[in-house]
Amino acid sequence: MWTTDCPGALKAICLVPLWLLLFLDCGMVGGEVPPHYWETPYSQPYFDNSSRREVTATVGQAALLHCRVRNLGDRAVSWIRKRDLHILTVGILTYTNDQRFQSLHSEGSDEWTLRISSPQPRDSGTYECQVSTEPKISQGFRLNVVVSRAKILGNAELFIKSGSDINLTCLAMQSPVPPSFIYWYKGKRVMNYSQRGGINVITERSTRTSKLLIAKATPADSGNYTCSPSSSDSASVVVHVINGEHPAAMQHGNSSASCLRPLSPTSVPFVLATWMSMTVAAVAWNCNFNGNWNYWSPEWRWHWDLNWNWSNLAAGLVGLWSWS
């Protein structure tokens, strides 16, 4: 036996023939591989599902779709546009005339990234990361390209009393990521770094908002103010700083306020309204009614007594003016 024939120091060497026999018996030596070995899940390429499957990008800002393939071996990774089944890239080569599409891959990495430069809304849709196995396997990614717009809260035209403060708030709408900056302009002049005292810009990237505060505005502060976040369309508002009082309709930019203007005493609506008011007041002042309950018929019987004369009209006018 090997346990008696081999000295203690050589037992490890004597074990080698035994391990070789075991491997030969299992078919692992001599080039033979069990038929089921390559069919196991981890021997074939498979997708790492930790990647984001839905991506939102803004117009003009590069969009990135990350596909991770484990155990790729010698297979190739391709990117396919689903709507027209157009092959965009194979490996790191681009197979389309649209050079905005590019495949990014680092040697030894499991990640294959489709980069779309300057995406447009028409680029929205489903893209497939495909592996050249037999049969092919693929994973879909949804891309949404939106137009980010700035919005200045309030009316498009503001009237501010001289000496009051200008307070403008801008919001970056539909921005998938906080803007790296939000600039305020008056005309073509940047307000963020203005040397004029009393100007303050407060930007909160997390909430995608920015406020422009101008203390004790003067008529010289009138003008066109623009909010311009990064990767967003800008928004503008016209500010008028005027001396003295101004109509409420101009203050709030609401034309419906014109309905509150007083009527001229000589206007037809004023005359008609006055006549109707006097008539109603005279009738109300001189109209008496009595009611009694008819036990044989469950209803009220009203008796109206209307006394109309010039003295009643005069009394009605006195009642109208005393009420008003």
Contacts of 108 (CB under 8 A, 6+ apart): none
Residue with tokens 């203690």: 8
| Fold assignment, 46-146 | Immunoglobulin-like (2.60.40)
How confident is the model over 266-273, as a mean pLDDT?
56
Report domain extents, the chain: 46-146, 151-242
Residue bearing tokens 């369309």 = 233
Q: Work out the burial of residue 58: count CB atoms within 10 Å of its CB; fewer than 13 is exposed, 13-18 middle, 19 or more buried.
A: buried
Fold classified for 151-242: Immunoglobulin-like (2.60.40)
* Residues 184, 225 contacting (CB under 8 angstroms): yes
Q: Which residues pair with 79 in a beta bridge?
A: 89, 129
Q: Which of 12-21, 37-46, 57-66, 198-207 has the lowest mean pLDDT?
A: 12-21
Q: How far apart are CA 116 and CA 98, in angstroms?
A: 10
- Tens of pLDDT, residue by residue over 149-166, are 999 999 999 999 999 999
| Rg of the chain, C-alpha, whole Å | 42
pLDDT at position 304 over 80: no
Collapsing DSSP to helix, strand or coil, 275 comes out as: helix
218-262, pLDDT tens digit by residue?
999 999 999 999 878 999 999 999 987 654 434 343 333 333 444
Pair of tokens at residue 284: 């109300």
Q: Which two tokens stand for residue 317?
A: 């006018």
Per-residue pLDDT of 111-128, as tens digits, reads: 999 999 999 999 999 999
Q: Is the pTM of this model over 0.75?
A: no
Q: To which H or E segment does residue 218 belong?
A: none
The mean pLDDT of 1-13, rounded to a whole number, is: 47
